[in-house]
Structure formats: C-alpha cells, structure tokens
Amino acid sequence: MLNRRSETVKMTGKFKIKENVEIDRLFKIYREIVNYLINYAYENNITSFYKLKSKTYRNLREKYPNLPSHYIYTACQIATSIYRSYRKKKRRGEARNKPVFKKDSIMLDDHLFKLDIEKGVLKLSTPKGRITLKVYVSNYHMKFKDWRTGQAWLVKKDNGIFLNVVFSREVEIGEPKDFIGVDLNENNVTIALPNGFARFETREREIRTAYYVKRRKIQKKIRAGKKRKKLLEKYGKRERNRLNDLYHKLANKIVELADGYGIALENLKNIRKSIRYSKEINGRLHRWSFRRLQSIIEYKAKLKGIKVVYVDPSYTSSLCPICRGKLSPNGHRVLKCMRCGFEADRDIIGSLNIRLKALKMWGVSVPPESPSMKPERGRLAVIINTYNKSYG
Ligand SMILES: [Zn+2]
C-alpha cells in the first residue's frame, strides 16, 4: 500500500428504548406538526425548506411554546421531502390525494438528543425538558462507542420504541497495487484474485423461490385482512433476515480475500446486465439484493482500510479478457473467444474483466502477458466454497 487517504464510513445502529409516556406524547405532537407543514406546503406550493420554515415557524412556536425548536426544523425537513416527492409523482401522473404523514417516527438532530452507549442512557429534549431514558445496549452496539453520532430517528413499532442513529467514522484507506474483481450473480459470487479465482455458491435463488412459494400459498389461502398482512410481513421479514445473514457471511469472506488488495465491484446503478432473472421473482428485489450486498462489502472493507472501487459494467460478460475479442457461448455457462480461443466459465470471465477494469483505472499497470492474467484452459485455480449445508 502506497498512499493513504481518509474516507468516511457511515452505519446505522438501532437501539431499543424503555417505554415512556413523554415519548408517546411527542410522537403525536410531531405527527400533527408534520401534517400541518405538509398542508401548508401543499396549499402554497412551497418546496423550499427555508421558505416553509420561515412562513410557519412563528405559528408553530405559539401553538407549541414548550417544544424544543429543533423539532420544528426536522419536521420541516420531512414535510419538504414528502411534498417534493409528491410533486414528482404528480408530474408523472402517479400521485393520488394530498400526502399525509402517518408514521410514528421523529427525526432528531444533534441538538435534540445525546446518547451514551456505555451507560445505556439517552438524553432527549422534550416539552418537559431534557429527560433521561434507558437504552438497551448489547455487545453489538459497543463498536459504535467511539463513532460520531449524526442524524437519528425515534421510531415506534409493534415491539417497542427504537432509536436509529447514523454513526460515522473516519478511516484510512490504502492505495492498493492490485484488485480483486467481484462478480455478483443470482446463485454465486465469483471472485478474480491476482493468483486465481474463488467462488461462493449462495443458492440465493432457491431461498427466494421457497419464500415466494410460501407467500403465494398464503395469498391463495387467506384472501384479505389483517392476518394475511401479518403473515406476509412475517415471511418477508424472515426472508430478508436470512439473506442479510448470508450477505454478511459472504462479505466477510470477500473482505478476507481482499487482504492487501482493493475490491472492484460493478456499478449497478443504471444497468440491466445479462443476468437472466427468474421470471417469478421480481427485479426490484434483485436490485435491492445486489446493492445491499455491495454496501455491506463496502463498509466492511473500508473499516479494514481496504479500498473499494466501482467499474462500468458494460461488456464485462461479452468481451474477451485477454484480447478484447467477442465472446460466444460454447456449452453450458461457458464462453469462448472467437479471436484467440480463450475459453472459460462466464462468471469467471465476468470477475476477471471487473478486476482488469479496476487495474486499468486505479491500479499499477501490469503487462497483459503476465501469467496471472492469462489463465490457461482447464488450469484455473478455482476455489469453490459452498454454503449449501446451512441453507438446505
Ligand atoms: Zn480473446
């Protein structure tokens, strides 16, 4: 690693708070204020935070004289963003009625709260002054004790009141000489290393299909109502938890492999690539999936000082990594270069192309004859890792 550069890592921590009557009141007042502000923005067509605040501030102060003023600021932020997205939808012809804020959530800025993780104490500004609340802290939360606290949300759920805090920390990122290329696929993650390849079979499609079938059964059995909604939510949550768990394990493995290198991922923001999604599973979930996995890889890597770059995904699965010739299918999942004869598994090629793109843009140049870049047919050092057992 040559130079080091400072970067910010952000993570959200979730804390359960002991129930309290004052907070219950606060949720109600806050919702009233946000809805008053949305209404005002709607009637007067105001999309600017400052304008909305200056037009309504005096009124709100009079109506809620004991409420700390920063609640009005954050309520203005929420109202502005809700009204803006309503206008956007309206322009596209998707908006229905005037928007209403129905959530039990309160946005907090750093004037409104102070969290002491080690003591398990939250100090919160309320109309009754600063109150002290008990926060349930586990080992998991301790890692945040030296982080900076940013914006936070108080959220009321069926199972209690939570404080979600955005923490941030500066990390020193090394400038790597080489990268590993990570190709995310529906059923596996394939990684091009400087000295070989690694693959993790994830069987994600099977997990998804199983949950899809479960949800369909519920939908057929129970036509409508609360019970149906509850059950669907339960299985949706279970699926997300299971995938999250899988992603954390995968990310740990990938970061381990990246020791001493940087990590190259595909920029998936505006592409459809050639991933053939199974039809029954919707694409929105897939995009959520890949981006979720990428963000977990990214923060875990940064916390270890590992650089993460995003490469343009075009042609990563259609051009030869050796000679840039056009690749053609040659059997199941195998691609062959018509120009130089290079042939390999399509995910291997994908990961190698991602790695080479990163090297070209951010790495120290390596001549293309380098043995590490010209894996001979049938001699690829592929390490296969499977998670099948835990997901059977
Ligand atoms: Zn070729």
Whose CA is closest to 151, among 359, 312, 12? 12
Alpha-carbon span 173 to 27, nearest angstrom: 41
Ligand 1 mean position, distance from CA 195 (Å) = 20
Q: What are phi and psi of 340, to 5 degrees?
A: -110, -5
Between the CA of 327 and the centroid of ligand 1 the distance, in Å, is 8
CA 350–ligand 1 middle distance (angstroms): 14
- Blockwise average pLDDT, block size 10, the chain, 392 residues: 79 91 92 97 96 97 96 97 94 87 94 95 95 93 92 92 95 92 90 92 87 90 86 90 92 94 87 46 63 92 94 89 91 90 92 94 61 38 41 28
Cα–Cα dist 32/17, whole Å? 23
Q: What pTM, to 2 d.p., does this model score?
A: 0.75
Cα of 318 from ligand 1 centre, angstroms: 11
pLDDT at 199: 92
The alpha carbon of 220 and the centre of ligand 1 are apart by a number of angstroms equal to 51
Closest CA to 206 of 242, 253, 245: 242
- CA of residue 322 to ligand 1 center, whole Å: 5
Q: Which among 315, 297, 317 has a CA at the least distance from the CA of 307?
A: 297
- Residues 161 and 179 sit within 8 Å (Cβ to Cβ): no
**Cα–ligand 1 centroid distance for 349 (angstroms):** 11
How far, in Å, from the CA of 380 to the mean position of ligand 1? 16
105/101 Cα distance (integer angstroms): 10
Judge contact between 189 and 366, C-beta under 8 A.
no
> Concatenated DSSP letters for 69-135?
HHHHHHHHHHHHHHHHHHHHHHHTT---S-------EEEE-TTTEEEETTTTEEEEEETTEEEEEEE
| Cα–ligand 1 centroid distance for 319 (angstroms) | 8
Q: How many angstroms separate the CA atoms of 131 and 147, rounded?
A: 23
> How far, in Å, is the centroid of ligand 1 from the Cα of 133?
65
**pLDDT score at 377:** 35
Distance 230 CA to ligand 1 centre (A): 54
Q: How far is the CA of 346 from the centre of ligand 1 (A)?
A: 14
Torsion of CA 42, 43, 45, 47, to 10 degrees: -50
